[in-house]
Amino acid sequence: MTPEPTAQQPHVLLVDDDLQLAELMSMRMTSRGYRVTVEGEGRSALRRLAQERVDAMVLDLRLEDMDGMDVLRAARQRAPELSVIMLTAHGSIETAVQAMQEGAYGFLTKPFHDHELMQKLTHALERSLLRREVAELRRRMGEEGEPLLLGISDAISRVREVIARIAPTDATVLLTGESGTGKELAARMLHVLSRRNAGRFVAVNCGALPPELLESELFGHVKGAFSGAVREREGLFGAANGGTLFLDEIGEASPSVQVKLLRVLQEQRLTRVGADVEESVDVRVVAATNRDLSEEVAAKRFRQDLYFRLHVVPIELPPLRERLEDIPLLAQLFLERTANRYGLRPPRLAPATVELMQRYNWPGNVRELIHEMEAAVLLAGADELQPRHVPRLGQALERPPAESSQLPGVPGGTADLPSLREARDAFERAYLAEAMRRCSGSVSAAARMAGRNRSDFYDLLKRHGLSAADFKGTE
């Protein structure tokens, strides 16, 4: 006995005037857990679309009362996030391609196998869900935020669940994870879903300012507190009063700033630089770092008591390489967003390109994926994104693995002599890998060993496709 459909099931609108074929497809979809509505005419399908939420549409290109292309255009106009799969006969492939240019998700040529339809439908539903999540997040956040926490993977779903559970509280949250995984967006989601969302969300990068300036920026100062303090400044804690303060790269805060932060977290009171009187503040603090703070505590570079105060609710943002099933969906969204921004037609992802992207390590995570897709849209000039349009990914996969720590020498015998630039790049990459191995993945320690500032050292690691996480515990 077929179970009764529920509102939680994905809703598929099947539009085909071949009622026998439509019934067979409907039975197949229902057995997979989908709620299916069958319409034999284009006009009735559009009426249904206006009355109910539809997650995906399967649409025959040839209908008795309307042209399938006209139904597609009208459906996309009413529900831009809707994924539409076109069904076509052998003789109308050119029209099917035109339909995809009009915004159809894909097409199947009759006759087709059941597994082809179900695979295409699964992906279409995932795409519709992701587009709705993007629209909802932007609506709730009131801005064009990067959709870094979107996806269907278990890893990112668990993060969203934890955020939804703790957002209504005032608990201090520590966000950890590699650069580019979406820590700031996670902090914004915590703010938007909290009771403080009427207040301000204020963000500061603790590693971008020198210690004395960071202290003044955070806590404010009184007039005359130091040279150049010509007027009072309330500071970021004051600006975030009643809202949320996001402290990015908290591991970079100086000891003096750490002491004051601890006082604010414990007592909700602060003293401006140069002032004698404490002030009360009401701020939720969300901190983030891509460093191992427990390691920093052991090395006495970070206060243990502050670490415990920040570590009330830890959330680790997963790297993109642990979210492989999210890559095709996110990549297509970024392609479409960039194309819309520049008035271009978004290319489709070729299967070979998806396979290449899922093999790549993504040291810059989702932020790197955004930049790669933006470059691909601007440079490809094609309807389908092929591996040749993302050459850097293929080149990176051909490099030696990061575990190799032997410094390269000049090859002897009959081996080709590399160019000076190639040899210099190979040496620099091996040197960075060896420094990171000796420092067990601590970027700060490796930068000190190399005699470079931490920001420059990070840039070098990124240029050579190296990640601190690859070297944790390698000493």
Omega within 30 of 0 (cis) for the link into 351 = no
Beta strands in 320-408 (DSSP E): 348-349, 384-385
DSSP string, 64-99: SSSBHHHHHHHHHHH-TT-EEEEEE-GGGHHHHHHH
Eight-state DSSP code of residue 324: G
| Torsion sign (Cα): 40, 41, 44, 49 | positive
Give every CB contact of residue 467 below 8 A, 6+ residues apart in sequence.
178, 319, 361, 363, 402, 461
CA 366, distance to chain mean position in Å, is: 4
Q: Helix or strand or coil: residue 175?
A: strand
Q: What is the pTM of this model?
A: 0.61
Q: Each residue's pLDDT tens digit in the chain (475 positions)?
A: 444 444 468 899 999 988 888 999 999 999 988 999 999 999 999 999 988 889 999 999 888 888 888 999 999 888 887 889 988 875 566 776 677 777 788 888 888 888 888 888 888 887 777 667 666 655 555 444 444 578 878 888 889 889 989 999 999 999 999 989 999 999 998 998 899 989 999 999 998 888 778 888 888 767 655 566 557 778 899 899 999 999 999 999 999 899 989 999 999 888 777 667 788 889 999 999 988 899 999 999 999 999 999 999 999 999 999 998 889 888 988 898 888 888 888 888 888 898 899 999 999 999 999 999 999 988 887 788 999 898 888 787 766 554 444 444 444 444 456 666 667 777 778 888 888 888 878 888 788 778 777 777 887 888 788 887 777 654 4
Rg (CA), the chain: 27
C-alpha distances in angstroms, 408 versus 20, 395, 428, 430?
A: 68, 19, 10, 7
Q: Helix or strand or coil: residue 140?
A: helix
